[in-house]
Amino acid sequence: MAQPEQSSNQPPIQDVVLIVGGGPGISSSCARLFSENGMRVGVAVRNPAKSALENLEKTHGVRRYACDASEPADVETLFQNVVRDLGRPTLVVHNIDGRVPGIFGKRITEAEPDMVLDTVRNSAFSAFLIGQQAARLMIENTADANGAKGTIIFTNASAALKGFPSSGAFAMACHAKSGLAQSMARELMPLGIHVANVPIDAAIGWTQEDGTRAHRRAGKTVDDNMADPDCIAETYLQLHRQHRSTWAFEIVLRPWVESW
Amino acid sequence: MAQPEQSSNQPPIQDVVLIVGGGPGISSSCARLFSENGMRVGVAVRNPAKSALENLEKTHGVRRYACDASEPADVETLFQNVVRDLGRPTLVVHNIDGRVPGIFGKRITEAEPDMVLDTVRNSAFSAFLIGQQAARLMIENTADANGAKGTIIFTNASAALKGFPSSGAFAMACHAKSGLAQSMARELMPLGIHVANVPIDAAIGWTQEDGTRAHRRAGKTVDDNMADPDCIAETYLQLHRQHRSTWAFEIVLRPWVESW
Amino acid sequence: MAQPEQSSNQPPIQDVVLIVGGGPGISSSCARLFSENGMRVGVAVRNPAKSALENLEKTHGVRRYACDASEPADVETLFQNVVRDLGRPTLVVHNIDGRVPGIFGKRITEAEPDMVLDTVRNSAFSAFLIGQQAARLMIENTADANGAKGTIIFTNASAALKGFPSSGAFAMACHAKSGLAQSMARELMPLGIHVANVPIDAAIGWTQEDGTRAHRRAGKTVDDNMADPDCIAETYLQLHRQHRSTWAFEIVLRPWVESW
Amino acid sequence: MAQPEQSSNQPPIQDVVLIVGGGPGISSSCARLFSENGMRVGVAVRNPAKSALENLEKTHGVRRYACDASEPADVETLFQNVVRDLGRPTLVVHNIDGRVPGIFGKRITEAEPDMVLDTVRNSAFSAFLIGQQAARLMIENTADANGAKGTIIFTNASAALKGFPSSGAFAMACHAKSGLAQSMARELMPLGIHVANVPIDAAIGWTQEDGTRAHRRAGKTVDDNMADPDCIAETYLQLHRQHRSTWAFEIVLRPWVESW
């Protein structure tokens, strides 16, 4: 990214990244790409024994953290550990979808209240907790050559753009995440922290070990008709490197063939 | 409203209204106006001893119900009682703002996690609970002359349109409510239930017993520069009476002098 | 509508309405409803010999004006004639769709430049010309009991909400009309003029003389699955009567079965 | 950008860029950056003798074309000349603001109809003409390694997001451009052409020869509080290089201190 005001000869700041959520899609792609770009990477996840993460530790030195991101105490401890192990984060990515499995496709008349509240807690409330700790630390960071003290990225979904039928809980969660991201952006951008909301308006696919394409839900196989998480990670890196004179708050990503 | 399909000589259906939230502003204006238009009106509120409601019981026969609208069991009981006392609701209005007092103006770095979650529970989760019970009952209603089985209205706020700084919790709550309303509208409108989201993009004033104008927050006194809850109630009545050939999902109301 | 500040015993101001566009749908329904509510009504149209208008002149005393609304001089003359014949307008409705017939369904690669520009002129530019003359007159009006000096309503279409494929010219025209309406609302509402944009997100049907339902495009026959122009007119009347403490700028109307 | 499907050993396609509009801000920054990235660059402008362009021809081999982009015949000739001189374009950027000088700050009651129509012609209608010719050529292109046949980018302004008072003509023009871009995106993206709309929600500054910062309107001098056109060009290059599995349609760019 153009850096029109870089005026010192100091070495560039070492980026420390915390990725919250550890699936084989966006989180893995981010961990890999950010590592390859010289950043120190930590990934927080409920169950750090997931195979995707184990692999990344071996191949890329990515550090795993156990954390229930909807628990305030857990989140506080997470950030303390990341600072201790890797340093103060300059990039935090919140990748949690948060849907309780049983909630998929439930009509408003059928959705169990507990599942609805859990979906909102897992997704939007954890985004608040992660965003809050990130903001507290980043405010104290030194600005880098682009004038930024740090970047906070919220991965979001189609349901942030439109409340679909039989999907009330997820619509609530994704809209709440967008509202939070907007409020944080208006509050933190003038303090030098870049906040971004990135709704992925598509199914997300990824490449499996056997080279074929996988996807959370079965039945979609055609190559680049699903969002490629490696490409999403690329956009996140670009967002992090944007100069503060031209920050994007929201980028909706969708495949060329997606109907919208 | 035009009623192009009214074809029978049956008496019109008696409207039964449940208003959730019982302040001296929108809820009181709705209760008054709906009563005066021949509807049976119930108001649910945490503390039904509020003076605004006591008055309305005396003057307009409005029925009071105690209910914590963020508690699933409470909400279920509420609807059972309303059906028993007044009949099956044809209009349900959710008027809860939901902000925990201490959350006002809190920066993202300061907001207490408990208060944030409570705000979302009070506002958006209670909207889900109320909306769910309303939907379950209304689906079984007989359609009226306008082709509608019922109307569900969510009062919302500026924070549904824009996430303001130092207001993350409310931005989450109001955006979540909008997402829920959208999902419900897409699901329930083809079943004959009108769902509407009404962000009031302004401070709301009301007339006190001494004839002067009051407002939740002090210091605003000029006449009609605040949203008049009597006028808001009027819009709700119009929404309820719209023919299903032209339903409005969202109406933003703001005073003539409001900047937006 | 509630009129909390009506304090005088003066007779209410006689409403004068100018409807621009004269089809058998919205314009006819508006002319009929407004007449029946005691307003003096004029309708401006390119060819005033249209049968729909002739009828309304006989039955409702609606006055017809010939006007090419995309011609500045024509529009100026129109308003002079309306003031002379009916008085200063307090309600102006712009109902012109504006699509040149040949432009329907044209791909971006096929659309003839002349037709594209004509569509924008017919729709958005005529909206500007009509809105400008209306504003000039209304600013000098005396405020009515609702605090309003007048109302300007722009009928709009789905293409104002979303740019559909093979529909670039209409997307341009409808988006431009929305942008104009927004700018006018922010400018004129604080001066006491209510400006509203009403996208009808549906096909519009109307009742023919033989009692069956007609529609611009063939093949849709089911009753209230199309927007009923009588119901649209009802919403316009409500908008005109809204108190200035709670003005709606935009109302999207769609039938209960419409997908969105 | 990740290129998961690059499977051949063919040399990469030589990018040919056409930039429409030739100011010292975005157009110059784009011309410079794209040249430095190995693309062949042409710039079309009403008066190609502008000093900014003369410089770029000397230093970067940028080719200048005279063209009134609101004239269909001119635009057709332009594309013929570009194809002849540089080859078939793979990236076209429309940078025209289009406001007739006298229209700035004009109230709706004051704006001259001719200036309003000219503003819409200069901006939105020229965007249509340029977009149409670009689409016709690109549809015949061979897809590159990212699966794209070409990229069309429309630079837009705050007025595309919000219609400001005393700014009706520009609100019309910018909204129209957004509507066109949306329609084109839905039509052309499934055909392999990436269409993007980029509202710059800020004043745009640039560095003058003496090293100080300039801006279209006087009085803004603080460093990176204005959008830096070099950074905007960087985003355009990233958009062009996005893989088609994750195309962004709209990116709003604003400086960190901008209020929104």
Question: pLDDT digit string (tens) for B152-210?
Answer: 999 999 999 999 999 999 999 999 999 999 999 999 999 999 999 999 999 898 877 77
Distance separating alpha carbons of residues B99 and B97, to the nearest angstrom = 6
> Residue C243: its chain B contacts at CB < 8 A?
224, 228, 231, 234
Q: How far apart are CA B163 and CA B181, in angstroms?
A: 18
Contact D246 A223 (CB under 8 A): no
With CB atoms and an 8 Å threshold, state whether A256 touches D147: yes
At C111-145, the pLDDT tens digits run 999 999 999 999 999 999 999 999 999 999 999 98
Alpha carbon distance A242, A99 (integer Å):
31
Instruction: Tell me the C-alpha distance between B208 and D146, whole Å.
Output: 66
- What does the pLDDT read at residue A230? 95
On chain C, the residues whose CB falls within 8 A of the CB of D140 are none
In this predicted structure, what is the pLDDT of residue A50? 74
Distance, in Å, from the CA atom of C235 to the CA atom of B248, rounded to the nearest integer, reads 10
The minimal CB distance from B179 to the residues A129, A139, A163 is found for A163
Q: Which of A186, A202, A245 sits opposite D255 (nearest CB)?
A: A245
**Residues of chain C in Cβ contact (below 8 Å) with chain B:** 1-2, 4-5, 147-148, 186, 189-190, 192, 194, 200, 202, 207, 223-228, 230-232, 234-235, 238, 242-257, 260
pLDDT computed for residue B46 by the predictor: 93
Distance, in Å, from the CA atom of D64 to the CA atom of D75, rounded to the nearest integer, reads 14
**Mean pLDDT on D196-217:** 82
Neighbours of chain B (3+ CB pairs under 8 A): A, C
C chain contacts of residue D109, beta-carbon cutoff 8 Å: 132, 135-136, 139
Contact A172 B168 (CB under 8 A): no
Q: Give me the pLDDT at residue C216, please.
A: 60
Smallest Cα distance from A32 to chain D, Å: 12
In A, minimum Cα distance to B106 occurs at A187
Name the closest residue on chain D to residue C164, using Cα atoms. Answer: D183
- Give the model's pLDDT for residue A6: 42
> Which SS3 state, helix, strand or coil, does residue D233 take?
helix
Chain D CA closest to residue A259: D186
Gap between the Cα atoms of D195 and D200, Å rounded: 16
Q: How far is CA C252 from CA B196, B246, D244, in A?
A: 11, 9, 33
Contact criterion met (CB < 8 Å) for B183 and A164: yes
| pLDDT recorded at residue D2 | 37
pTM: 0.95
Q: Say what the pLDDT of residue A1 is.
A: 35
- Number of helical H runs and strand E runs in chain A: 7, 9
Q: What is the pLDDT of residues C40-98, one digit of tens each?
A: 999 999 988 877 888 899 999 999 999 999 999 999 999 999 999 999 999 999 999 99
- The nearest CA of chain D is from the CA of C87 a distance in Å of 20
Mutate to test the interface with C, among D139, D180, D249 (most CBs of C within 10 A): D180
| The pLDDT value given to residue B217 | 57
Residue predicted with more confidence, A124 or C215? A124
User: Residues of B with CB below 8 A from C224's CB?
Assistant: 4-5, 147, 243-245
The tens-digit pLDDT sequence of chain A (260 residues) is 334 444 445 566 799 999 999 888 999 999 999 999 999 999 999 988 877 888 899 999 999 999 999 999 999 999 999 999 999 999 999 999 999 999 999 999 999 999 999 999 999 999 999 999 999 999 999 999 888 999 999 999 999 999 999 999 999 999 999 999 999 999 999 999 999 999 999 989 887 777 777 775 555 555 678 999 999 999 999 999 999 999 999 999 999 999 99
| Residue D260 pLDDT | 96
* More reliable by pLDDT, B22 or D69: D69
Interchain CB contacts (distance < 8 Å): B and C: 124
Other beta carbons within 10 Å of D172: 34
Instruction: Please tell me which chains touch D, using 3 or more CB pairs under 8 Å as the contact test.
Output: A, C
A138: three-class secondary structure by DSSP: helix
B131 CB neighbours in chain A (<8 A) are 108, 168
Chains touching chain A at 3 or more Cβ pairs under 8 angstroms? B, D
Instruction: Tell me whether strands C40-45 and C16-20 are parallel, antiparallel or unpaired.
Output: parallel
Which pLDDT value is given to residue B219? 53
Interface residue of B226, B245, B251 to substitute, partner C, most C CBs within 10 Å? B245
> How many other CB atoms are there within 10 angstroms of residue C139's CB atom?
16
Q: Which residues of B touch A197 (CB under 8 A)?
A: none
Instruction: Give contacts of A244 with chain D, Cβ < 8 Å.
Output: 224, 255-256
- Which residues are CB-neighbours of D90 under 8 A, at least 6 positions away? D13, D15, D16, D17, D138, D141, D144, D148, D149, D150, D151, D240
| Residues D131-169: tens digit of each pLDDT | 999 999 999 999 998 889 999 999 999 999 999 999 999
The ranges of chain B with pLDDT < 50 are: 1-8
Contact C165 D172 (CB under 8 A): no
Residue C150 Cα distances to B202, C13, C195, C242, D111, angstroms: 22, 11, 9, 11, 20
Of the candidates C242, C253, C254, the beta carbon closest to that of B231 is on: C242
Residue-level pLDDT at C217: 56
Cβ partners under 8 Å of residue C144, min gap 6? C12, C13, C90
Q: How far apart are CA D126 and CA D120, in angstroms?
A: 9
Q: Inter-chain contact D125–C135, Cβ cutoff 8 Å?
A: no
* CB < 8 Å to D99, chain C: none
Tell me whether residues C132 and D120 touch, CB distance under 8 A. Answer: no
Per residue in C40-55, pLDDT tens? 999 999 988 877 888 8
Q: Is the pLDDT of residue C221 over 60?
A: no
Nearest-CA residue of chain C relative to D106?
Answer: C187
Chain mean pLDDT for chain C: 91
Task: Give me the interface pTM, i.e. the ipTM.
Answer: 0.94
Which of B120, B139, B188 minimises the CB distance to A176?
A: B120
pLDDT at D48 over 70: yes
- The nearest alpha carbon in chain D to A232 belongs to D246
Contact D128 C72 (CB under 8 A): no
Least Cα distance to A30 among A46, A14, A52 occurs for A52
E strands within chain C?
A: 16-20, 40-45, 63-66, 91-94, 150-157, 193-200, 205-207, 213-215, 247-254
* Residues of chain A found within 8 Å of residue B179, distances taken between Cβ atoms: 159-160, 163, 168, 171-176
Residue A56, amino acid: L
Type and span of the H or E element at B206: strand B205-207
Residue D236: enclosing H or E segment and its boundaries? helix D229-241
Judging by DSSP bridges, how do beta strands A247-254 and A213-215 pair with one another? unpaired
| Res. C148: pLDDT tops 50 | yes
